[in-house]
Amino acid sequence: MRQYDFDLFTIGAGSGGVRAARLAAGFGARVAVAEERHMGGTCVNAGCIPKKLFAIAAHYGEDFQDAAGYGWSAVRPSFDWPALIANKDREIARLNGVYEQILTSVGVRIFRSRATVADAHTVEVEGRRMTAAHILVATGGWPAVPAIPGAELAVTSNEAFHLPQLPRSIVLVGGGYVACEFASIFNGLGVETTLAYRGERLIREFDADLGTALAQEMAKKGVRIRFRANVAGIARQGDGLRCTLAEGTTIEAGAIMFATGRAPNTRGIGLEQAGVRLAANGAVIVDENLQSSVPSIHAIGDAIHRMQLTPVALAEGMVVADRLFNKAARRMDYANVPTAIFSNPNVGSVGLSEAAARERHGDVAIYRTEFIALRHRLTGRNERVLMKLVVDKASDRVLGVHMVGPDAGETIQGFAVALQCGATKAQFDATIGIHPTAAEEFVTMREAVA
């Protein structure tokens, strides 16, 4: 007689949880998944997918303008916000079904309700207690909102995907991925957009040159950026809102959106009572095997707050399933994880920033170029592309590849393979470029900057 109802019970059907459940079931494990919201988690429903669709929509305004430089007659396009929302929702619903099919096709049992941890091997769901040899916490994250007066009047990325109408103006509070992406989205859709950030440089986790270049290009496109701006309170002002900054100045707008980070969605599901150690921000503390302080309880993705990226959660899910049910000694490698910000222009990055490379390796060489892409030689748009390589002088190995410009994410993905293989600057130099492309600049930079 089997000791437990399931071999693996996964709480959360986001990207990482679904991947772990599917693989575990493929290895012969008896698997259950509980999801209280929508299949696919943050990425599918309130993150990567809808945000990228919105970013694509926001680019069309510029594309219509640029077409004149290529002989197309000027047109006066109009934008239909409800149509975008409806089309986005239809695609999300399709993906929800895909994720459910992924699980049911391999025999995973799905509970469409909230699950909590009762003890090391017990989960409570739908008024019943289910036992499992292993429990996987894949509950994702939730937007963090500062505790200031009037904070409830603002929206977060959760609500931004479902606004009944576009505001006439908006203040984005934050300076990271989500803030920059939504500032570009709203600005591109014709909303008067202000980005208020308490720091002195956007996307501070990235190479410093990227943050500087991104701010310059976003400002050219009409985004008003206010640095060292701490929001102290929000109040209603007529039919809009008034945002008061710490120094006393105010900004009025039709809407205010917080993009001030995300916190692990781990509180209130019984982890502490089961003996699982949590960090101050709620992240499940795990070891290199993604195992918590309770050996039978594991955690991945935004719940552990290491790298809040969907592909990382997918990889972590595979590590857990492989180790538990395939007897593999697979480990997570967080080095050289590529990432992109779908702002306008895009940001792409893989490897070490210049500052991190100098700290870890000492003497480094920096290769850097800025230029106007061929496309804009006919449009007249003064949008510049930035590309940068960080190279270890001792070994000649390329430590970082960074870009601000159109389709930066598409470009950086390929170079991530090169870094994973330990490519050197000499090998970059020996690679023939594709002409005329922006990407070829990464293999034609010969002179290091001072």
Mean residue pLDDT of the chain comes to: 96
pLDDT digits (tens, 9 = 90+) for 35-44: 999 999 999 9
Q: Is 435 a catalytic residue?
A: yes
The answer, yes or no, to whether residue 1 has pLDDT greater than 70, is no
In sequence order, what are the residues at sequence separation of 6 or more whose Cβ sits closer than 8 angstroms to the Cβ of residue 125? 34, 111, 113, 114, 115, 116
User: What fold is seen in the domain 151-260?
Assistant: FAD/NAD(P)-binding domain (3.50.50)
Backbone angles phi, psi at 72, to 5 degrees: -80, 135
> For residues 4 and 121, is the Cβ–Cβ distance under 8 A?
yes
CA dihedral 245, 246, 249, 255 (to 10 degrees): 10
Strand bridging mode 31-34 / 231-237: unpaired
| Mean pLDDT calculated for residue range 356-360 | 98
- pLDDT value, residue 398: 98
Condensed to tens digits (0 to 9), the pLDDT of residues 127-172 reads 999 999 999 999 999 999 999 999 999 999 999 999 999 999 999 9
3-state secondary structure of 77: coil
Report percent pLDDT > 90 for the chain. Answer: 96
Integer Cα distance of 305 and 422 in angstroms: 27
Q: Give domain limits for the chain.
A: 6-143+263-325, 151-260, 345-443
Q: Do domains 6-143+263-325 and 151-260 have the same CATH topology?
A: yes
pLDDT of 179 over the 60 cut: yes
pLDDT at 407 over 80: yes
pLDDT for residue 399 is more than 70: yes
Looking at residue 75, its pLDDT comes to 72
pLDDT band at 450 (very low <50, low <70, confident <90, very high): confident
Neighbours of 312 (CB within 10 A): 21
CA distance 139 to 141: 7
Instruction: Tell me the two tokens of residue 34.
Output: 């509980």
- pTM listed for this prediction: 0.96
Task: Give 62's contacts (C-beta < 8 A, 6+ positions apart).
Answer: 188, 221, 344, 381
**What's the pLDDT tens digit per position in 431-445?**
999 999 999 999 999
415 closest CA partner among 312, 358, 336: 336
Average pLDDT of the segment spanning 408-427: 98
Q: pLDDT digits over 66-101, tens only?
A: 999 999 987 788 999 999 999 999 999 999 999 999
pLDDT of residue 241: 97
**Homologous superfamily assigned to 345-443:** FAD/NAD-linked reductase, C-terminal dimerisation domain (3.30.390.30)
* Helix, strand, or coil (residue 298): strand
**Nearest by Cα to 245 from 237, 234, 256, 236:** 234
Distance separating alpha carbons of residues 174 and 230, to the nearest angstrom: 10
What kind of fold does domain 6-143+263-325 have according to CATH? FAD/NAD(P)-binding domain (3.50.50)
Note the pLDDT of residue 428. Answer: 98
